Structure 1
Amino acid sequence: MTPRYGRVSDYLWILIVAGLIYPVVRYSTGPSLNAGPVEQGPLLVGLPALDSLLEDSRGRPVLMNFWATWCTPCIGELPGIDNVYRSMQGEACAVAVDIGDPRLETVLDFREDMSLSMPVVWLDENDAAILKGRWDLPDVLPVSIVLDAEGTETVRVAGVRDESFFLEALSGIVPEDTASTGTTSDDRLHINLVGTPGDSMTAALMDLSLELAGEDGVDFFDPAAPADSAMMMELHLPFTGVPYAQPCIGSACGRISRTPEELVLTVGSLAN
């Protein structure tokens, strides 16, 4: 058995037809992505700004979504959360808290490609570390926490959830698909590896990925292959900084790793 190199090409005809029907846009997530014009919400900086926002939201339930631009599942989840925020505006609050991008410019660039009406808060590395300790956050993203009107935590999940999940959570219903420990329900490691066949670093990352996740736990994507490129767009995998590997547990992912040493550290952090 070999890693799933050929998995994407088996469905090439489906991707071609889909490409003719739906325009492919950066960070696209399907029909719910920014349905209709979306006015860009505020970008706030720093932990005091987040604390102030949470204090101002007292009396309403709050959804805090912790994310980063390198977190591919996060990018797919954000538009759905924003739809929930808009549908419940006035009754509930939502905030997207970036705790994984050391540079503010990275978030500013991201906002040129995606408009979100809910507030976005960017934290530098020091503030992010303080926040992770305060809320006991795991080393995976996305993580979502729902607070009730009194500020008490009612729901905590790691990994992607759909709009109905968040609507229920903000309405005071604890959804069935809830991991109270902050972990995902699927604890199997899988790694998305993006690189060029024949490249030495790609080969090194592949060898380690197979060792860590097994043959069934590795998906390989060559950006130069049309079918792989289309699937990368669907999965929101970056086209820059190749080769790289992104380890995930369920629908929660760790940082993109560009060397075997980085991959070992990232996978180790997911296990903690």
Structure 2
Amino acid sequence: MAKKKNKKTIRLISRTALLLILAAIMIYAITSKDKVKVLAEGDTAPDFELVDLEGNKHRLSDYKGQGVFLNFWGTWCPPCKKEMPHMEDLYKDFEAKGVHILTVNVGEPKVKIELFRDDMNLSFPMLWDKNKTVMDLYNIKPLPTTFLINSEGKITKVIKQGMTEQQIYQYLESIQPK
């Protein structure tokens, strides 16, 4: 009888210890995940390298000394579709003034992005973040999200919504090098 009681006690202690170990592992996994920094105004924009639809490499650092309107988008996103023609209308004028529009598609098939570009008659660089690495680097939620980056590489504003043509114009103007 004492042996049975002893076995039950050992079994209870073993199960309790196992449950405590599993609980500790779960708590550690939840609390130790790498926290992605939320970028804010005044932060230095993280450098990255992506290719556009033609295969040309674009590094954010290549635009140092100029303004960058960095827009993250998806073909399925209604506000993205609405703001793209406004960006196209302003693209050439502001590029001549040292402000570049770079759009980053987040993880969609290249052919889908190309069809979108062609249907909308867009000519500005469309970068392809096929593995969503830059999306994760910039902690993008929701789409569209746009970062205004000044000539020193600092983020001056983060816009997490669609924009009108007037707003885009004002934002492009705000990051024009002096």
Task: Name the TM-score, length of structure 2 as normaliser.
Answer: 0.62
Q: Give, as a single letter, the amino acid of the residue that structure 2 aligns with 1:131.
A: V
Cα distance in 1, alignment partners of residues 129 and 55 from structure 2: 6
> Structure 1's 162 and 96: CA in aligned 2 closer, same or farther, altered over 3 A?
same
Q: Give, as a single letter, the amino acid of the residue that structure 1 aligns with 2:85.
A: P
The residue number in structure 2 matching 1:75 is 81
Per-residue deviation at 1:87?
2.2
Mapped contact 1:45–1:122 kept (Cα < 8 A): no
Q: Give, as a single letter, the amino acid of the residue that structure 2 aligns with 1:145.
A: F
Aligned: 1:97 with 2:104 = yes
Cα distance in 1, alignment partners of residues 69 and 92 from structure 2: 13
Out of 137, 140, 165, the position equivalent to 1:134 is 137
Residue pairs, 1:41-120, within 5 angstroms: 43-44=53-54, 49-50=57-58, 52=59, 54-91=60-97, 92-101=99-108, 103-120=109-126
Per-residue deviation at 1:107?
1.2
> Structure 1's 158 and 44: CA in aligned 2 closer, same or farther, altered over 3 A?
farther
Mapped contact 2:86–2:165 kept (Cα < 8 A): yes
Per-residue deviation at 1:136?
1.9
The residue number in structure 2 matching 1:168 is 170
Cα deviation digits, residues 72-118 of structure 1 (max 9, x gap): 221111010122222212221001110141x1111122233121121
> Structure 1's 100 and 159: CA in aligned 2 closer, same or farther, altered over 3 A?
farther
Give the number of the structure whose alpha-carbon radius of gyration is greater. Answer: 2
The residue number in structure 2 matching 1:240 is none
Per-residue deviation at 1:141?
0.9
Q: What SS does the corresponding residue of 1:149 show, helix, strand or coil?
A: coil
Task: Name the TM-score, length of structure 1 as normaliser.
Answer: 0.42
Q: What SS does the corresponding residue of 2:96 show, helix, strand or coil?
A: coil
> Structure 1's 121 and 114: CA in aligned 2 closer, same or farther, altered over 3 A?
same
Q: What SS does the corresponding residue of 1:83 show, helix, strand or coil?
A: helix
Count residues with an aligned counterpart.
Answer: 123
Q: Which runs of 5+ in 1 are unaligned?
A: 1-41, 174-272
Per-residue deviation at 1:122?
1.3
Q: Give, as a single letter, the amino acid of the residue that structure 1 aligns with 2:135.
A: K
Q: Give, as a single letter, the amino acid of the residue that structure 1 aligns with 2:105.
A: D
Cα distance in 2, alignment partners of residues 152 and 119 from structure 1: 21
Residue pairs, 1:167-186, within 5 angstroms: 167-172=169-174
Say what the alpha-carbon RMSD is for the aligned residues.
2.0
Greater relative contact order (CA < 8 Å, ≥ 6 in sequence): 2
Greater helix fraction, Structure 1 or Structure 2: 2
Mapped contact 1:146–1:155 kept (Cα < 8 A): yes
Per-residue deviation at 1:45?
5.2
The residue number in structure 2 matching 1:250 is none
Q: Give, as a single letter, the amino acid of the residue that structure 2 aligns with 1:162.
A: T
Q: Which runs of 4+ in 1 moved over 6 A?
A: none
Cα deviation digits, residues 22-73 of structure 1 (max 9, x gap): xxxxxxxxxxxxxxxxxxxx63559xx34x2x22221111101111111122
